[in-house]
Amino acid sequence: MTGIMLNEKTHLRPLRLPQDTQAVADLIEICFADTMDPDGWEYLRRMRTWGALPGGSPGPSMSGFVWEEDGHIVGNLEIILPKTTSRYPLIVNVAVHPNYRRRGIACRLTEKAIQYLKSWNYPAVWLQVREDNPAALHLYGRLGFQERARRTTWLTNPTYTSPTTPTFSHTRTRRAQEWPLHLTWLSRIYPEQIAWNLPLNIKRFQPGVLNTLRNILGESPLWHMTALEHDDYLGFCTWEATSYFADWLWLAPNPTQTPQALYALLPIMRQKFGRKRPLSINFPAGEFEEIFGECGFYPQQTLIWMELPL
């Protein structure tokens, strides 16, 4: 550890784009190949494409640091910088080559990122870590990061069979006058604290001529469904088409009738929208897991969302 600290000036440097793109992509693949989902592999493909383009990368607004030894990048940390004041910088892709681990490289990269973000007066920095990565959790906890949320991503299960639990509900397209209730329940599952860091644009859910035209003409159309039991609202669900591996479902169940809402909405959304492409749901971890399984979804991963006030 002491040797690394003494030589930090010759090993730790800012990320250079696009020069470092290919080496960083290779390092990420070495470190995370066993846990990457299809979107992760697509991200790597796009990284390599950006790095090969003349004149630089048109990718996300990104900064970061690398650890270099013997002319090779063996450690990496990237920072996605916010585009608006309602968002925060996000640390991603903290990776250290297996041959160079347990030497404090990840710690020094993270500390350097924190110093950098403090110098730009950001109020806080966030990161996400897999629930099954105790070493990373220990590191970030030691540096002062605090858990803010724990979220599970669910994907449609190709071996799905219909749930046996009977339901007396029915579903239909959401009506404009139902939007205030929809928004209330949607904000409960996707509160502002975490919604900023999801591919979720709640403003697009609001009824109106402009959003209707966007949904018809845009590349990511939306479709809102309402579930009712007699005259009681069970909840809402929105399907959103994407260019990623899976389309998204955004759930907004009645908090007093969540099981009934899931049993009513999940099978119909899968039947209506999940035949050609997988469907993905982001939901609070540990909640109604058995029902998600019965309705044809499996847990892809659980991420712990952590924040460090600066």
User: What DSSP string runs through 187-244?
Assistant: HHHS-HHHHTTTT--GGGGS-SHHHHHHHHHSSS-EEEEEEEETTEEEEEEEEE--SS
Tokens linked to 299: 């847990």
* One domain for residues 32 and 91: yes
Q: How many CA within 13 A on the CB side of residue 163?
A: 23
Q: Provide the domain limits for residue 41.
A: 2-122
Q: Tell me if 307 is assigned to some domain.
A: no
Among the listed residues 225, 281, 285, 291, the one whose alpha carbon sits nearest the alpha carbon of residue 258: 291
What is the spatial distance between Cα 158 and Cα 279, in angstroms, rounded to a whole number? 11
Q: Tell me if 176 is assigned to some domain.
A: yes
Q: Tell me if 134 is assigned to some domain.
A: no
Q: Tell me if 141 is assigned to some domain.
A: no
What is the structure's pLDDT at 20?
Answer: 92
> Among the three residues 122, 142, 177, which one is the final residue of a domain in this structure?
122
In this structure, are residues 199 and 89 in contact, taking their beta carbons and an 8 Å threshold?
A: no
What is the structure's pLDDT at 162?
Answer: 66
Tokens linked to 277: 């492409």
Question: Which residues, at least 6 apart from 257, have a Cβ–Cβ distance to it below 8 Å?
Answer: 229, 232, 234, 235
What is the structure's pLDDT at 8?
Answer: 66
With b for 16 or more beta-carbon neighbours within 10 A and e for fewer, the 149-163 pattern comes to bebbbbbbeeebeeb
Q: Tell me if 144 is assigned to some domain.
A: no
* One domain for residues 175 and 216: yes
DSSP reduced 3-state for 266? helix
* One domain for residues 171 and 291: yes
Contacts 24+ apart (CB under 8 A), 42-45: 42/244, 42/245
Q: Tell me if 142 is assigned to some domain.
A: no
Q: How many domains does the structure of the chain reveal? A: 2
* One domain for residues 188 and 292: yes
What is the spatial distance between Cα 128 and Cα 302, in angstroms, rounded to a whole number? 10
* One domain for residues 103 and 187: no
What is the structure's pLDDT at 60?
Answer: 56
> pLDDT tens string for the chain (310 positions)?
333 443 567 799 999 988 999 999 999 999 999 998 888 888 899 888 877 766 555 455 678 999 999 899 999 999 999 887 768 999 999 999 999 999 999 999 999 999 999 999 999 999 999 999 999 999 999 999 999 999 999 999 887 766 555 567 899 999 999 999 999 999 999 999 889 889 999 999 999 888 777 777 776 799 999 999 998 999 999 999 998 899 999 999 999 999 999 999 999 999 999 988 999 999 999 999 999 999 999 999 999 999 999 9
- Whichever domain contains 239, its CATH number is 3.40.630.30
Q: Tell me if 171 is assigned to some domain.
A: yes
DSSP 8-state class, residue 99: G
* One domain for residues 157 and 269: yes
* One domain for residues 108 and 188: no
In this structure, are residues 292 and 258 in contact, taking their beta carbons and an 8 Å threshold?
A: no
Question: Which residues, at least 6 apart from 11, have a Cβ–Cβ distance to it below 8 Å?
Answer: 4, 67, 68, 69
DSSP reduced 3-state for 180? helix
* One domain for residues 174 and 107: no
